[in-house]
């Protein structure tokens, strides 16, 4: 077929454009690296109210517990690029509402007490038999020991193990979606306003959109830096209460981390005041941190330090 010469260049340009468009429209598949592709399940949808209600329901079911855990402490942080893990410690953790918690750690094999610490929500006590040291302090006092494991506080365990619901009267929660080729999360960003009206970040609670299980909680300092970063996995049923069997706690500001692997967990027991009573061992040195109200009296020749 003979075409006018002036039409031929136009046809050539059109064919070239079609070829380019065909190249541009080619779809490249990216591999999905999380469990979405393997499970072949659609991602779950939820609102801020639904996720807040989920946290509250989990929290309210726990009135007390007694846990036996394998504890793996570590010092350092990912922020400094160096983490040193220590040998496993068998620990016993008791909790009773509103804020009473006791954590007893034992050395492996010999099962001698490595530390024993208790908190009532405002103040804490800690006994370290190997150093003949007894510490009494305010929960809010800074942790500045050069031995980072001495910065452990019972309150830090409670904050990580018992995820607090959103306080509707004082806090605001915003639902955000973080889904891409590698993961699929919702997270609630919980904030409050200070006395000047400035927005202060408090914590973020992360949910896996495959099953809406809580997988992470980050707690922030007022300046926005991370105070604690906790990961949750292996959620299991304990007497009708859902609870994670593995809790990975990181405290970058305090310079330590702890992995808790639940060996045994008993929910909603009738725990007594005596189980949360910790007395200073005879002959131990007393160290006071901050200005706690309940400092044990010391004999005239006793040793006492303040920091």
pLDDT, tens digit, 9 for 90 and up, residues 287-305: 998 888 778 776 555 566 6
Helices (H), the chain: 8-24, 35-39, 48-60, 154-161
The bridge status of strand 172-179 relative to strand 123-128 is unpaired
- At 153-193, the pLDDT tens digits run 899 999 999 999 999 889 999 999 999 888 899 999 999 99
> Do 251 and 257 form a contact (C-beta atoms < 8 A)?
yes
Spatial separation of the C-alpha atoms in residues 47 and 41, rounded to whole Å:
19
The whole-number average pLDDT for the span 274-278 is: 97
What is the pLDDT, as a whole number, of residue 273? 96
pTM: 0.81
Cα–Cα distance, 58 to 51 (Å, whole number): 11
For the chain, which residues make up each domain, given as ranges? 63-306
- Average pLDDT of the chain? 84
The CATH architecture one would assign to domain 63-306 is: Clam (2.50)
The per-residue pLDDT for range 58-112, each reduced to its tens digit, is 999 999 999 999 999 887 654 454 445 556 799 999 999 999 999 999 988 777 9
């Amino acid at each position: 077929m003979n075409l006018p010469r002036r039409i031929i260049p136009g046809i050539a340009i059109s064919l070239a454009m079609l070829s380019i468009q065909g190249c541009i429209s080619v779809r490249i598949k990216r591999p999905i690296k999380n469990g979405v592709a393997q499970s072949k399940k659609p991602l779950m949808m939820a609102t801020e109210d639904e996720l807040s209600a989920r946290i509250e329901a989990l929290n309210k079911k726990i009135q007390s517990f007694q846990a036996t855990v394998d504890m793996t402490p570590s010092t350092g942080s990912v922020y400094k690029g160096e983490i040193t893990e220590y040998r496993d410690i068998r620990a016993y953790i008791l909790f009773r509402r509103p804020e009473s918690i006791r954590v007893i750690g034992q050395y492996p094999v010999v099962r001698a007490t490595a530390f024993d610490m208790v908190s009532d929500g405002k103040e804490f006590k800690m006994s370290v038999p190997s150093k003949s040291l007894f510490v009494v302090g305010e929960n809010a006092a800074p942790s500045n020991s050069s031995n980072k494991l001495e910065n452990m506080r019972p309150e830090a365990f409670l904050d990580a193990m018992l995820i607090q619901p959103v306080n509707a009267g004082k806090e605001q929660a915003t639902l955000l979606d973080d889904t891409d080729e590698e993961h699929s999360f919702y997270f609630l960003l919980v904030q409050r306003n200070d006395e000047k009206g400035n927005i202060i970040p408090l914590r973020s609670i992360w949910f896996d959109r495959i099953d809406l299980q809580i997988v992470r909680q980050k707690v922030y300092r007022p300046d926005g830096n991370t105070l604690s970063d906790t990961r949750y996995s292996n959620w299991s049923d304990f007497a009708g209460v859902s609870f994670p069997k593995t809790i990975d706690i990181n405290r970058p500001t305090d310079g330590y981390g702890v992995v808790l692997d639940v060996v045994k967990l008993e929910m909603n027991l009738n725990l007594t005041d005596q189980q949360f009573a910790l007395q200073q061992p005879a002959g131990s040195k007393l160290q006071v941190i901050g200005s706690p109200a309940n400092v044990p009296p010391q004999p005239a020749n006793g040793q006492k330090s303040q920091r």
